[in-house]
A and B are shown apart, each in its own frame.
Chain A
């Protein structure tokens, strides 16, 4: 594994499996009376959040605390960033405070990559603009493996058909998932309106369809993406209602999925837009599981990045 986790492409198949297998062992911790391990005692993890986030920030915080690391939370609101401090100066401040790892969420694509050049500790990308969100992809892969393969250690996702639906253009989750899931052997298909597909999507390791209905009966996993209106600077579809009709997952569409198929959503959900409430609350939905698995996966990532000296060479 590399020193930083900036992109899902930083992870080879063996690295990704190491993270998933480590998480599988750590998953038992949630059921124990003492949900804490002493492993990262004395290490400092800084959560640097320039964008709003509920689950990712809390999830990283819980993960670091369960490993006994000290956690410093930083949000741009109420900090010197509001006075115009640059990312670099903020980074140097953190460096002076001795951060062993910096978890960064930023609105600009590439912010995590830039930060990695300025600090000595490990940088974990918790979402940079419309670029990547690698720990989300890891927790999604973990959730898929647990649901479809019972969490078998060492198993990849070979042959699992994953359809990612919706606003791919603005989604860092989609890009990280395409890279990671395909590295793990899954067959990924994007189903989205042409206006919501990024440039050069044909170079991604996946296939692209404009029609969702044709993909449903062939899917083991359907991953719905949030329509990110806050990043939309133009009219990408005529109306929300029309989008919902063509690309929203409602009960009728869910009924066309194979019996074992699962429905995922990275959250936060727009109920009634990309996913109907009855689908989000159904037994096929893994939304709540994904949140729980997020803590486990982030513990595994922090342990593998900070738990030893140097960085694990995968010997498998």
Chain B
């Protein structure tokens, strides 16, 4: 990886493993892969998992729109109420669930998240999706796959495979939320 990453704010700890340019390229590749795998993107719906999956889904939708000239329905899917670790922590604020007007019935839903780790968030997302309708198929796109799965779940589209230790912390920063794009890895001893 390159040495200087001037766009990463100095107060964000960790080593940058992807910079803005690399994130852009990874998303472009994923957008092409989605088009390829779904035969031109007919009937797809992109659903981002809050917080950072939502801007990622929007970016992917915009790219697919640019490449193929089609308007890709895009929304968000909050999984908080379906998590399996709710009782381990104080109740947390909910994110937004917003489905495109067409809904998800009979569509190919591509779930979008920033980091794939234990797989528990995706499990919760699959449950949440079941209550919203019956998609024809569900796929998963993530910017970073850091390994250490605890459930039989895998991603269909991966921006970067990032082998990590469980003690390390992977943070994805996105311009829409954090003011700049970067993927950082740091070791502060806690599980993310």
Interface residues of A (CB under 8 A from B): 18, 21-22, 25-26, 28, 32-34, 36-39, 67, 303-313
Let me know if B91 and A32 touch, CB within 8 A: no
Known: A37-B81, A38-B127, A308-B86. A32 touches B93 (CB 8 A): no
CA distance A21 to B94 in the complex (A): 8
Give the chain B neighbours of A307 by CB distance below 8 A. Answer: 81, 86, 91
A312 near B92: Cβ-Cβ < 8 Å: yes
Would you list 25 pairs from A and B whose C-beta atoms are within 8 A, ordered by A residue?
A: A18-B93, A21-B93, A21-B94, A25-B95, A28-B98, A33-B131, A33-B133, A34-B131, A37-B82, A39-B81, A304-B91, A305-B91, A307-B86, A307-B91, A308-B86, A308-B87, A308-B88, A308-B89, A308-B90, A309-B87, A309-B88, A310-B89, A310-B90, A312-B90, A312-B93
B90 touches A22 (CB 8 A): no
Name the A residues within 8 Å of B132 (CB-CB): 32-34
Q: Cα distance A307–B85 when bound, in Å? A: 10
| Closest-CB distance, A301 to chain B (whole angstroms) | 11
With a cutoff of 8 Å between Cβ atoms, the chain A residues found around residue B86 in the complex are: 39, 307-308
A37 to B86, CA, bound (A): 13
Q: Smallest Cβ distance from B32 to chain A, in angstroms?
A: 33
Which one of B82, B88, B89, B94 lies within 8 Å of A22 (CB-CB)? B94
Q: Is the CB of A312 within 8 A of B131?
A: no
- Chain B positions within 8 Å of A33 at CB level: 131-133
Report the nearest A residue to B50, measured CB to CB: A25
A-side contacts of B131, CB under 8 Å? 32-34, 36-37
- State whether the Cβ of B96 lies closer than 8 Å to any Cβ in chain A: yes
- Are B92 and A308 interface neighbours, CB within 8 A? yes
With CB as the reference atom, state the residue of chain A lying closest to B89. Answer: A308
Tell me how many residue pairs across A and B have CB atoms closer than 8 Å: 59
The complex places the Cα of A25 from the Cα of B79 at a distance, in Å, of 12
**Does B78 sit within 8 A of A, measured CB to CB?**
yes
Q: Which residues of A contact B81 (CB under 8 A)?
A: 37-39, 67, 303, 307
A47 to B40, CA, bound (A): 54
Q: Are the C-beta atoms of B133 and A309 separated by less than 8 Å?
A: no
Whether, in the assembled complex, B97 has its beta carbon less than 8 Å from a beta carbon of chain A, the answer is yes
How far in angstroms is the closest Cβ of chain B from A47? 21
* 8 Å CB contact of B78 from A25, A38, A306: A25
Which of B88, B90, B91, B96 meets A25, CB within 8 Å?
A: B96
> Bound complex: CA of A309 vs CA of B90, how far in Å?
5
* Contact A26 to B94, CB < 8 A, known contacts A34-B131, A39-B81, A303-B81: yes
- A33 to B88: give the CA distance in the assembly, Å: 30
Greatest chain B CB density within 10 A among A18, A25, A26 is at A25
